[in-house]
Structure 1
Amino acid sequence: MIDVHRLRVFRAVVASGSIQAAATNLGYTPSAVSQHVTTLQRETGLTLVSKSGRGIQPTPAGLELASMTDGVIDQLSHLENRVRDLRDGRTGVLRMVYFESVGQNWMPVVARALTQRFPTVRLDLVLSEEVPTRVDAAVDLQVIIDDEGFEPPTGLLRVPLVTEPYVAVLPRDHPMADLPGIDLAMLGGDTWIDNEPVTGRCRRRLLRACAAAGFAPTYGVQTQDHMTAIAFVAASVGITVVPRLCTKGLRDGVVAVPVHNPTPTRTVTALVNRSVERSGPVELALAELRRCAAEEAGLTDDRAELLD
């Protein structure tokens, strides 16, 4: 039988690039790490590393074993966490999945309420932009950006939370920074900072709105997230248009201005695993999400709409 600890050590060697680096990271001596790798080669009957100059490099078999090891060790870590929960008296785990701006603004509030009310429940919070295509028994609740035409898989309860508007984020010295609102077409001549991957759901909504306003944005900078895009705006490199939830706690040097004609919007939705929808932690998490959504809908821009 393959020793799991040796697999962990070998994975560290592959990830670190050398036995010396792995030993430093693990707090072992290089000779101990080398011995683990040698023993693992004997256990598997495979040549996992070969000499390369003064060091070593993984063989194709070694790379494949290291890749397969990731999933095994992740599952083992999950098992070890569960054993620790049971030993420490934690009676359950609540796994929630969320996207970036909800994670920044709502999930800390939800997590605080849960840890105060249910101290024996361990929270497992995961960042993901993906919309589920099937029920994952390990996920109790997921917050998503609801796509048009999306139908949740059977077994998931759909709970729309809020439809929120997009706003333009401009440098403080931009000619339109002091306006109460901007027609989207007025931004057609600006250099835009992209804030999502080209396949992003929020980006698709924004591009449709721009097309309806008669233009396509000219992007000068590609970024993968809203906060990075806003940093470029603060440096006066261009402008960006983002969902309003992404503008909480704006940095100095930028302003958020409502956009109209048309106003792009997105709907934030919770998906609840029906097998746990009546559990106390899930009910509390959903209640806190609703409260956060109500606060978002209560902001002065009347385009935000709380959903039932």
Structure 2
Amino acid sequence: MLDPHRLTVFRAVVASGGVQAAADNLGMTSSAVSQHLAALQRETGLVLFERAGRGIVPTEAALVLDAQSDDAMSEWSRLDRVVGDLRDGRSGRLSIGYFASAGSAWMPTLVRRLSAEYPDLVLELVLNEVGQRGRLPDIDLVIDPPDTPPPHGHRRVDLTEDPFVAVLHRDHPLAGRPSVALTDLRGETWISNDLPRSVGHRILVAACAAVGLRPRFSVQAQDHHTAIGFVAAGVGVSVMPGLAARSLPASVVRVPIDPPAPVRHLAAVVRQLGASTAPAERAVQLLQDLIAHPSGLRGRTLGR
């Protein structure tokens, strides 16, 4: 069985480019680092480094081992944190994956309430819009069609639908309308507000294609906060989920989109945790209450 500490030392050498640099970063002596590398090579039966001048370089086998050990080291680190929590008397840990607009709209209030009710609970919040590796969070907020099956060992809790809205400068000719059609924005300078391969961007592009519209994205903002800033400066218009357009500067307005408007389906994918499910179940309840009463959760105490 591979020694996790030796793997940590090995990965530090690969990342830093040399034994001495890894030793300095790890607070070890260079001879101790070399001993760990030699022991790991004996354990694996692999040649992991080759001489190059006065230093060493990783072999192809070392690069593969380094890349493939990411998930295992992440899980070991998680297990190490669990042991630390148990040693310090903390009752448990709950990880929640979220996307950006949910992070700004829901997470601060959710964390405040959950921490108040479970003061010994360790919360881990993970932005899930980048590629996830290893173990999924205990609760993963996702943007998926309603019929999307959850991963094995999880259940899906549908939370809400999130229609897209047009975000316009207040001086825009369409800003005073009660609603607009996507085709009303033909010829406008569009500002993207999400990553090109994200679910939300694909939903928007598909909705535009359905009405014969091909948006001209002249500004690649790729996040809604920056996109709103461009709109406020009068650069162009943006079409984004309503959840992302909750807080707008005075110079910007949001206008509903006529049917068929693009819409995101938001859900929580919840790990079946076994006997200790109370914090996870409570987190889902708080989310549902926050969505149903977005203006009331901050100012009142919720019963369990």
- Same fold per TM (> 0.5)? yes
**Higher alpha-carbon deviation: 34-43 or 163-172:** 34-43
List per-residue Cα deviations over 1:179-232 (Å, max 9, x = no partner). Answer: 554332121111222333444322233233323443121222445433344344
Encode CA deviations 1:229-265: one digit per residue, 9 max, x unaligned: 4344455443221101112334576443333244322
Moved more, 208-217 or 182-191: 208-217
Partner of 1:95: 95
Counterparts of 2:135 and 2:74 in 1: how far apart (Å)? 17
- Could you tell me how far apart the structure 1 residues matched to 2:212 and 2:60 are? 53
Q: Which amino acid aligns with 2:16?
A: S
* Structure 1 residue identity aligned to 2:7: L
Counterpart of 1:128 in structure 2 is 128
1:170: which partner in 2? 168
Q: Quickly say closer, same or farther: Cα 1:275–1:12, change in 2 above 3 A.
A: closer
Counterpart of 1:150 in structure 2 is 148
Contact 1:168–1:257 (Cα < 8 Å) also in 2: yes
What corresponds to 1:306 in structure 2? none
Taking structure 2 as the reference length, what is the TM-score of the superposition? Answer: 0.79
- SS of the aligned residue for 1:245 comes to helix
Do the aligned partners of 1:159 and 1:270 also contact (CA within 8 Å) in 2? yes
Residue 286 (str. 1) matches residue 289 (str. 2): no
Correspondence list, 1:50-69, <5 A: 50-53=50-53, 55-69=55-69
What is the aligned partner in structure 2 of residue 303 from structure 1?
none
| Displacement of 1:106 | 1.0
Taking the aligned partners of 2:209 and 2:2, their CA distance within structure 1 comes to 58
AA in 1 matched with 2:245: T
The 3 A distance-change label for structure 1 pair 20 and 245 is: farther
1:9 aligns with 2:9: yes
Deviation at 1:5, TM superposition (A): 1.9
**1:29–1:187 CA distance, 2 compared to 1 (3 A):** farther
Could you tell me how far 1:42 is from its partner in structure 2? Answer: 4.7
The answer (yes or no) to whether the contact 1:164–1:297 under 8 Å persists in 2 is no
Partner residue in 2 for 1:204 = 202
Deviation at 1:66, TM superposition (A): 1.6
* Alignment-derived partner of residue 85 in structure 2: 85
Q: Alpha-carbon deviation of 1:285?
A: 0.8
Q: Would you say how many aligned residue pairs link Structure 1 and Structure 2? A: 294
Unaligned runs of 5+ in 2: 297-304
Moved more, 107-116 or 120-129: 120-129
Instruction: Work out which of the residue numbers 222, 234, 256 in structure 2 matches 1:258.
Output: 256
The aligned residue for residue 46 of structure 1 is 46
User: 1:61 is paired with a residue of what secondary structure?
Assistant: helix
| Residue in 1 that maps onto 2:218 | 220
Structure 2 counterpart SS, 1:249? coil
Q: Distance in 1 between matches of 2:250 and 2:152?
A: 46
Shift of 1:151: 3.8
Q: Which residue of 1 aligns with 2:139?
A: 141
Do the aligned partners of residues 296 and 201 (structure 1) sit closer, same or farther apart at CA in structure 2, a change above 3 Å counting? farther
Structure 1's 232 and 16: CA in aligned 2 closer, same or farther, altered over 3 A? farther
2:110 aligned partner: 110
The answer on whether the counterparts of 1:129 and 1:144 sit within 8 Å (CA) in structure 2 is no
Tell me the amino acid that sits aligned with residue 66 of structure 1: D
Q: Structure 1 residue 270: deviation in Å? A: 2.4
Contact 1:167 1:241 (8 Å CA) reproduced: yes
What does residue 299 of structure 2 align with?
Answer: none
* Residues 1:233 and 1:20: Cα distance change in structure 2 (over 3 Å): farther
Q: 1:91 and 1:278, CA in 2 relative to 1: closer, same or farther beyond 3 A?
A: closer
CA–CA separation in structure 1 for the residues paired with 2:143 and 2:275:
20
Structure 1 length-normalised TM: 0.78
Structure 1 counterpart of 2:75, which letter? Q
- CA distance in 2 between counterparts of 1:253 and 1:6 reads 57
| Cα distance, 1:45 vs structure 2 | 4.2
- Output the CA distance in 2 between the equivalents of 1:251 and 1:48: 55
Report the counterpart of residue 267 of structure 2 in structure 1: 269
> Partner residue of 2:74?
74
Question: What is the identity percentage for the equivalent residue pairs of Structure 1 and Structure 2?
Answer: 48
Q: Distance in 1 between matches of 2:118 and 2:255?
A: 40
CA contact (8 A) 2:163 2:261 kept: yes
Worse-matched range after superposition: 241-250 or 264-273? 264-273
Query: What's the Cα RMSD here?
Result: 3.4
**CA shift in 2, pair 1:21/1:191, >3 Å:** farther
Give the C-alpha shift of residue 289 in structure 1.
Answer: 0.3
Distance 1:177 1:230 in 2: 14
Structure 1 segments unaligned to the other structure (5+ residues): 299-308
1:60, CA displacement in angstroms? Answer: 0.8
